[in-house]
Structure 1
Amino acid sequence: MTGGRAYSFACISEEVRREHGHQQQRAWALAWDAPAVKADKDCCCLRVHMQPKNIPKSMMEGEIPSFLPSNIKCPPGTVLIKRSTKEDLIMTKRLKALGLHYPTTSNFPTADPNIAFATVQYNRHNFGAKTTMNVWGPSTSADQASFGNLWITNGPTNDINVLQAGWGIMPPLFSSNLTRLLIYWTADGHKFTGCYNYLCPGFVHVHRQITIGLVLNQLSVYNGTQKDIEIGIFRDGEWWLKYFNQFVGYWPQKLFVYMYGGANNVVWGGKVFSLANKRSPAMGSGHFPKDGLQNKVAYCKGTQIWDNVNLFYPPPDQLVVSTSMPDCYEAQLVDGAAPNTKDLFYGGPGQCKIQG
């Protein structure tokens, strides 16, 4: 009970509830303050009402294709949520055991066991950001992962608050090499809270067509057509996830200790995961920016910062390029389309041993 109101856990199996303690139950209550109106073996439908209040309508203009399979239906006013199962709990523990999460360092991203990166950082106060990134299908093995992401972070190393969204390939989670829309969060440096997608409650889904874990079938082609997605994370009371012009859902503000007044770090670019002393996977297109940019490598273009009123391009002299393994992955800033802006090109073939 919270404030005299009962919270429905219809989307969480009894096995999973028994496995978790009070702190995770609190996260569930904050995240799913809504009754389930329909449930079956694999998923359920939750009633939702929230939408962003103060974000300009211009940020929600344009068209986006329908992504929800026609065989999946929810009643009006509800959204589809994957049921959290015992298998999800096992997978969460496996991912943590592998070390597949955000690098827990005060100056992201510093080398962390099993992780390599090629990114740009903006280390100033903000209320979110957005970027346009092309989508790839880099080769990965069963215990590897490769991402193109946007991160918003704040707080000390041991209790860092992290919001992450973008595309990625995660065989440890999906047992496939398909590129998907992925999210991640933690409110305490990965100790008790946080997960990818719906492996734990926390992210509140409100969009009836766009689903987290969505397979991104349209991929960029080397020296050919580039396929983009736009990812944004914005604070508007809650921390909202925006996909193209659509707000997909939000992370409740009450989940976080260090994100009430905004954040102090925005990071965008590529990240890969591999077991220690194994050959690392490709990042982005699998090619270095130095080998050619146009239609050949991964990028994040037109990145803008949200100051709680307007979007603005970060000044180039306030951007910090970070690459943990320059022999395997590169990050390069190039003049953007707008005056006095920079776009990030990143990636590489991998095949280096990440020292755990």
Structure 2
Amino acid sequence: MEKVGFMLFLAMILCLATLANSVSRKSIDREASEEEDDIDRRLRLLNKPAVKSIQSVDGDLIDCVDMHKQPAFDHPALKNHVIQMKPSITLPSETKSTRIKYSKPAISQTWQKSGSCPEGTIPIRRIQRQDLLRASSLEKFGKMYHPHSQDQVANSTLDENGRNVVINGTQVSLPYQKDRSQAILLTAGYHYIGASGDINVWNPNVDLPDDFTTAQIWLLAGPGNKFESVESGWMVNPKLYGDKQTRLFTHWTVDGSVATGCFDLTCSGFVQTSTEVALGSALSPISSERAQYQISVGMFMDPHTSNWWLRLTNNLVVGYFPASLFSTLKTSAVMVNWGGQVYSTMVKKSPHTRTAMGSGKYSEALHGHACYINHVRIMDYSLSLKYPGMVQVYNDEVYCYNGNNHRDKPVDEPVFYFGGPGQNNFCP
């Protein structure tokens, strides 16, 4: 009798265990199903219906999307936005005679070898499922990582967390950027409504899975660490793009990248008008010690609409960051940076990341070896391009990455060289 009771008890335990396992499996399956549903919903939101799709030889899919159905108009501030098809002024440019030094053939985007988008559409790099799965969360996909909470940034100031630079006897504070290492040329102290430069294109090594490296132009306005900014240039970012190709990028934020803004068209914001450029797509050819290539990048505020326009090589106008996104940038920027930036949790630490900046060579290597930005320019309310009256070089980690505003001859205009290998004998 006792044996029968024990067998019944054992059967009951096995039954309960089987039931618990079944409930657990159903719970896991339900969570997995919900995650799949979330990913599918996000993909439908990000990838608008295509009029035409182009398979690029580098693996990207480019969707030609109706210009009036682009991601920008998912932003609450842009629900009734009317597209400004071109700037209300002729954006300033320089004559060929002023651009002879280091002038090289225009580079192109790899996808353009495989087709083109029809008028009335814009090319958008399609976001794939694996792109979302690489992100730390769906909400953070496409965003600039920032270590702070909203409260921490709201209570901080440039003086508390900033880095001080002296320009022409005036102390200027740079916004605090944890896990960033910069080598930049900067100007501040005036009202800037534009900036441009010719950025030498390289393909630096990226070491760790979450690292990225850029060469860019960056315009900022206050307040403090909760700054507003627009930026553009080239970037190598395997976590975002899934490979180590050098790609054209844009970025914007209105709170120091805590909760707003994103790269390219991965969130609503940037309004594209060009049928020729796909933000986030690969650039080619890439510079080597045998041949140098560069891309012209400029961002200019339309004085009549306060929209910030992006212009590339050969005066190609790509689109704009709408004024309705911003508060302080509606008037002007108060600081401009040109140069390189490396993001890694292993900058300013030992062992340092091996992610490189620029060409991977220090600035002292100069032309043909180090990355450069030539024809550094700002625009003020005179609506003309000019070399900034006051500039200063700033390096976060001079033994890992550095910058050098170099003149070949005393009468020459400076060219800003920057870069570095990351971890090496001088940067352990």
Report which of the two structures shows the higher radius of gyration computed on alpha carbons: 2
Provide the residue aligned with 2:140 in structure 1. Answer: 93
What secondary structure does 2:331 align onto? coil
Determine helix, strand or coil for the equivalent of 2:112: coil
After superposition, the Cα gap between the structure-2 partners of 1:97 and 1:213, relative to the gap in structure 1 and judged at 3 Å, is: closer
**1:64-110 Cα distance to aligned partner (Å, 9 max, x none):** 67645365554422223356788658466166585499x99556646
Residue by residue over 1:155-185, the C-alpha shift from the partner in whole angstroms, topping out at 9 and shown as x without a partner, is: 1124310101001100110121100001111
Match for 1:260 among 308, 317, 330?
A: 330
| 1:129 equivalent in structure 2 | 195
Alpha-carbon RMSD across the aligned residues, in angstroms, is 3.6
| C-alpha distance in structure 1 between counterparts of 2:333 and 2:184, whole Å | 18
Tell me how far 1:192 sits from its aligned partner.
Answer: 2.9
1:231 aligned to which of 281, 297, 302:
297
Partner of 1:195: 262
User: Is the 1:161–1:185 contact (alpha carbons within 8 Å) kept by the matching residues of 2?
Assistant: yes
Instruction: Indicate the SS of the match to 1:198.
Output: coil
Q: Does 1:241 align with 2:300?
A: no
Q: What is the aligned partner in structure 2 of residue 149 from structure 1? A: 216
- In the alignment, does 2:41 pair up with 1:15? yes
2:414 aligned partner: 342
Instruction: Indicate whether 1:293 and 2:328 are aligned.
Output: no
Which structure's residues are more often helix, by fraction?
2
Give the Cα separation in 1 of the matches to 2:144 and 2:338: 25
Q: TM-score normalised to the size of structure 1?
A: 0.78
Equivalent-residue separation in structure 2 for 1:326 and 1:251 (angstroms): 33
1:50 aligns to 2:85 (yes or no):
yes
The reply on whether 1:312 has 2:386 as its aligned counterpart is: yes
Distance 1:275 1:127 in 2: 33
- Determine helix, strand or coil for the equivalent of 1:259: helix
Q: Which shifted more, 267-276 or 106-115?
A: 106-115
Contact 1:197 1:212 in 2 (8 A): yes
| Structure 1 residues 65 and 175, CA gap change in structure 2 (3 angstroms) | closer
- Decide whether aligned partners of structure 1 residues 56 and 256 sit closer, same or farther in structure 2, where only a CA change above 3 A counts: closer
- What is the letter of the counterpart of residue 326 of structure 1? V
Percent identical residues: 28
The answer (yes or no) to whether the contact 2:141–2:266 under 8 Å persists in 1 is: no
Q: Could you say if the C-alpha distance between residues 210 and 336 of structure 1 is closer, same or farther in structure 2, counting changes exceeding 3 Å?
A: farther
- The superposition leaves residues 291-311 of structure 1 with CA deviations (integer Å, 9 ceiling, x where unpaired) of x31211011111111113111
Alignment coverage as a number of residue pairs:
323
Q: Is the 8 A contact 1:184 1:196 kept in 2?
A: yes
Q: Does the 8 Å CA contact 1:132/1:230 hold for their aligned counterparts?
A: yes
Does 2:250 match 1:183? yes
1:95 and 1:70, CA in 2 relative to 1: closer, same or farther beyond 3 A? closer
Cα pair 1:66 1:209 within 8 Å, conserved: no
- Aligned-partner residue type, residue 273 of structure 1: Y
Kindly indicate whether residue 375 of structure 2 is the aligned counterpart of residue 302 of structure 1: yes
User: How does the TM-score come out when normalised to structure 2?
Assistant: 0.66
Q: 2:320 is matched with which residue?
A: 250
Give 1:271's aligned amino acid.
Q
Aligned partners of 2:125 and 2:278 also within 8 Å: no
